[in-house]
Structure formats: C-alpha cells, structure tokens
C-alpha cells in the first residue's frame, strides 16, 4: 500500500496498514506506528508489541487470533501524537478495515485511539475498561502498551481491562 494523502508520507519508510486474522472477533486499534513498525511494516512489533502479545496470552489469545491496526498508517515524527488532519486523512482506511474485519469487540489502545473511535475526549484513568456499545461493536478503551512500559503503575488496571475484554468476547460468542 502506498499513500500520499498527508505530510506523514515525507518521513515514513513504509505504510503500516495492519495485520492479523481477517475474521477476528477482536480488533485492536492503536494511534500510529513507531520506529520498529516503520522499519518492518508491521504494527506493534517493538517492546509495546511484545507486551501486547503477553497480555493477549494472559487471556488465552495469540496475535494470530486478532486483528491489529492503527488510526494513522505512517509514523509521526519523533513519535508525536498524530495531528487531527493526519487522523482524518487515514479515517477512510480505518473505517474500511473495520467494515471488512467486522470485529465484535474493538479495543482502543490509548487515549488518542479511544478519542478518535468514540468521538469524544477520553481520559484513560477514568474511561479504561468501560465497554461502550456503538452499533454492532463493543468498544473498550485501555492503556496503550507503550504507556504501561513508561508507567507500570497502570499495569494492574490494564490487566483487569484485558480480563473484561476476554469476558466480553465470551459473552458475545455465547449470545
């Protein structure tokens, strides 16, 4: 995939579209690729991705069981937050991914992704782990794995959120 829609194209090495099970009931959405992701073209492959893989394992899932994407598909300079116009330029891609995958649960990794998906300001310390039903999706915000690496005080909260994610998946599969 190649994209020329916004200024993020100027410094990127590769577009990081997303990867995983295209029939997944569970989709993770982060804010944007980091340096390792820009190098490999794969989402969540650095230290944050390793933590995400571990947390998936804690609820009996593997990376191959889920689909992983980001709000923006190119790395913002110096890992800054994606700007509103950059997020808007990528929304068509993200909407198409969600429409194609048809997940039952969408987990927003971090406040940027949660704010974009929920369409409102999100404070992770207040909103994490709260499932919100929007159309056919249960949307659950949780802490971004990179934030957990920098501030492990929220790790127990994130682990509790992942238990909620697992319970929500079980509940939806039994319905």
When the pLDDT of each residue in the chain is averaged and rounded to a whole number, the result is: 92
Summarised one tens digit per residue, pLDDT across range 18-54 is 999 999 999 999 999 999 999 999 999 999 999 999 9
For residue 8, pLDDT over 70 is answered with no
Q: Please give, one letter per residue, the 3-state secondary structure of the chain.
A: CCCCCCHHHHCCCCCCCEEECCCCCEEEEECCCCHHHHHHCCCCCCHHHHHHHHHHHHCCCCHHHCEEEECCCCCCHHHCCCCHHHHHHHHHHHHHHHHHHCCCEEEEECHHHHHHHHCCCCCHHHHCCCCEEECCEEEEEECCHHHHHHCHHHHHHHHHHHHHHHHHHHHHHHC
For residue 7, pLDDT over 70 is answered with no
For residue 1, pLDDT over 70 is answered with no
Q: Taking residues 104-122, report their average pLDDT.
A: 97
75 band by pLDDT with thresholds 50, 70 and 90:
confident
Q: Taking residues 153-173, report their average pLDDT.
A: 95
CATH number of 7-169: 3.40.470.10
Q: Does residue 82 contact residue 71 with C-beta atoms inside 8 Å?
A: yes
Summarised one tens digit per residue, pLDDT across range 128-153 is 999 999 998 999 999 999 999 999 99
């Amino acid at each position: 995939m190649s994209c020329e829609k916004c200024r993020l194209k100027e410094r990127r090495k590769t577009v990081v579209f997303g990867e995983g099970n295209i029939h997944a009931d569970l989709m993770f959405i982060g804010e944007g690729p980091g340096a390792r992701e820009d190098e490999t073209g794969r989402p969540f492959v650095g230290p944050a991705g390793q933590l995400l893989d571990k947390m998936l394992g804690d609820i009996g899932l593997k990376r191959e069981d889920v689909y992983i994407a980001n709000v923006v598909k190119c790395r913002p300079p110096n890992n800054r937050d994606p700007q509103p116009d950059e997020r808007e330029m990528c929304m068509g891609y993200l909407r198409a991914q969600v429409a194609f995958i048809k997940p039952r649960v969408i987990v927003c990794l971090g406040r940027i992704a949660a704010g974009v998906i929920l369409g409102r300001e999100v404070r992770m310390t207040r909103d994490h782990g709260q499932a919100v039903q929007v159309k056919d999706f249960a949307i659950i915000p949780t802490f971004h794995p990179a934030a957990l690496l920098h501030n492990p005080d929220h790790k127990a909260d994130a682990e509790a959120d992942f238990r909620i994610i697992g319970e929500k998946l079980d509940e939806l599969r039994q319905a």
